[in-house]
Amino acid sequence: MFLAAASAAPLSSQTRRAGAPDDAAVRRAALTITEADVRGRIGVLADDSMRGRGTPSPELEKVAAYIAGEFRRFGLRPGGDGGTYFQRYRILRTQVDSASFVMALGRGAHGHWLLGREAAYWGGTLPAAAVTAPVVLLVGMPADTARPFGDAPVRGAIVMQVLPAPQIRPQTIGPIVVTAAAEGAVAWILVSDRSAAGFGALARSGLRPRLDVPGMTEDRGPAIPIFEVRDTSALSVLRAAGEDLATLRTPAGQGVRALPGFTATISARRTVLSETSAPNVIGVIEGSDPQLKNEYLFFTAHMDHVGAAGMGNGCTAQGADSICNGADDDASGTTGVVELAEAFATLNPRPRRSLVFMTVSGEERGLWGSRYFSEHPTVPLADIVADLNLDMIGRNWRDTISVIGKEHSSLGEVANRVTRDHPELGMRLVDDLWPNERFYFRSDHYNFARKGVPILFFFNGVHPQYHRPSDTVDLIDAEKESRIVRMVFYIGLDVANAAQRPRWNPESRRRIVEATGNQR
């Protein structure tokens, strides 16, 4: 009897401060997180009627309204814009203007290539106005990666690279384009032997409308624009420069050199077709300590998914099923945040630090909602002590959860200790099992980490249903998820009541925070 009672105790009597809720109150709060609630909430969020919760979409707005309604019911204070639960960010639907062109001329030769026809736009930052610059010719891939351009005058130049189509891959040309941008190049033009059909598809894709968040995504990709033209289109320009196409395709033609007397011009711009917005949902429980209530512990998850087939979010139909429900990704984590809000709302007295519960949108588009929050925080970033992020916590092993980021801060010690103190949860913590997948950088906690906030990322890994219509509520292990969320509750309570805020490990801070150039 004594051993059983001791093993289930959420707090030790030595660590409970005066005025803190007693063990029974903490246990009652944790037990509001139930298997039935988890299954029911995921059923709401991942229902076919939500059509995969794409960003932006009317169904995502329904989900946001549902979560805000729950926060209101629990008595959470609105933490969004203008006294609401919503923080909204603008989304523009844009398209590269079809009158945009790339041009090269010199020594009597003139190449004029319209985007979408003779030229394809790959990506990168488009110039604010037309730019004309000298040309540096690069043939093949440079052998010297330390000095890929040798003594060629790359600063202020447009690099024209002749490269076989099979070698043109983002992972191949990306690093060298980044180097060129760092050395002052203003644009990059690939000259390829791509087939007419393949090039036509590529050129048309560059003119497809896309979604942008002002100030965040317009310039995704390298800092300079990348274009591609077929070598047959560039033939006259190359000949005028004294370059033979057949020779360029052999090892003898490899190398880098300036093309004296030649210039290239880039004239390309984006047109805004329409504008909408998307929400983050934010609720706050104010801390009970007069000083520590001005510090904040965040609980986050992304409420969006990849929508339905044909919406352009990345969902592919499976037979007749065209809706990617996203039960695990991430209705499971969103449910966890709502359950945590309900559990903490029952505690009296409240934890010492303030708690912020935030469900974000746009994660599947590229961490949009959390990125926007990190650039427009509703509380000072310096006062955020930690982020506990839940993404895909409803599947795979019954007794194990991967907690990514444990090794980077003192939060790892807290998580390990709390798990040992709660054997009744039957959970085992493991580190990142998939380091090559770089999951640390692929969910919303990363936008906190890059700003200097210690994080833990609770994640059960992917599965065959990932981003497919078959990620449905019937495959969720709601009983296991309820235990994971209770564990996060106990970890959060420990962090919220601790005398000291979590600390980064110095080397981790150097690699993750300072290396990004985005520290607060």
Indicate the pLDDT class of residue 145, thresholds 50, 70 and 90: confident
Residue 236, pLDDT above cutoff 80: yes
pLDDT in the model for residue 305:
98
Quick one: pLDDT at residue 101?
93
d(CA 491, CA 411): 9
pLDDT value at position 440? 94
Under 8 Å between Cβ of 323 and 315? yes
Average pLDDT over residues 420-435: 96
pLDDT score recorded for residue 38: 99
DSSP 108: T
Burial degree of 34 (CB within 10 A; 0-12, 13-18, 19+) = middle
Domain boundaries, the chain: 42-91+289-516, 98-268
Q: What pLDDT score does 1 carry?
A: 33
pLDDT score of 10: 44
Structure confidence at residue 427 (pLDDT): 96
pLDDT reported for residue 4: 34
Check residue 516 and give its pLDDT.
62
The token duo for 165 is 């189509």
**Both structure tokens of 40:** 């029911």
Look at the pTM and tell me if it is higher than 0.95: no
pLDDT of residue 18: 52
Per-residue confidence band for 12, with pLDDT thresholds at 50, 70 and 90: very low
With pLDDT > 90 as the criterion, what percentage of the chain qualifies? 80
Query: Which letter, b or e, does each residue of 367-380 get, where b requires 16 or more Cβ atoms within 10 Å of its Cβ?
Result: bbbbbbbbeebbbe
CA distance 500 to 355: 16
Mean pLDDT of 325-345: 98
Which has more confidence, 20 or 153?
153
Question: How does pLDDT run across 250-265, given as a tens digit for each residue?
Answer: 888 889 999 999 999 9
Q: Could you tell me if 102 and 116 are in contact, meaning their C-beta atoms sit under 8 angstroms apart?
A: no
Per-residue pLDDT, 312 = 78
Average pLDDT over the chain, rounded to an integer: 92
Q: Of the candidates 222, 143, 234, 216, which has an alpha carbon nearest to the alpha carbon of residue 185?
A: 222
Predicted pLDDT at 221 = 67
451-467 tens-digit pLDDT: 999 999 999 999 999 99
The pLDDT assigned to 52 comes to 97
Return the pLDDT at 14: 38
Say which residue, 490 or 269, is predicted with more confidence: 490
Higher-pLDDT residue of 6, 55: 55
92-142 residue pLDDT tens: 999 999 899 999 888 888 889 999 999 999 988 899 899 999 999 999 998
| Structure confidence at residue 223 (pLDDT) | 85
Q: Is 94 within 8 Å of 270 (Cβ atoms)?
A: yes
DSSP state of 83: G
Residue 228 pLDDT exceeds 80: yes
Quick: pLDDT tens for 196-216. Answer: 999 999 999 999 999 999 988
- Fold classified for 98-268: Glucose Oxidase; domain 1 (3.50.30)
> Between 212 and 284, whose confidence is greater?
284
Distance between CA atoms of residues 430 and 448, nearest Å: 22
Q: What is the pLDDT of residues 382-421, one digit of tens each?
A: 999 999 999 999 999 999 999 999 999 999 999 999 999 9
In this model, does residue 83 exceed pLDDT 70? yes
Give me the pLDDT at residue 513, please.
Answer: 83
Pick the CATH number of 42-91+289-516 from 3.40.630.10, 3.40.640.10, 2.40.390.10, 3.40.50.1000: 3.40.630.10
Is the pLDDT reported for residue 468 higher than 70? yes
CA distance 511 to 449: 11
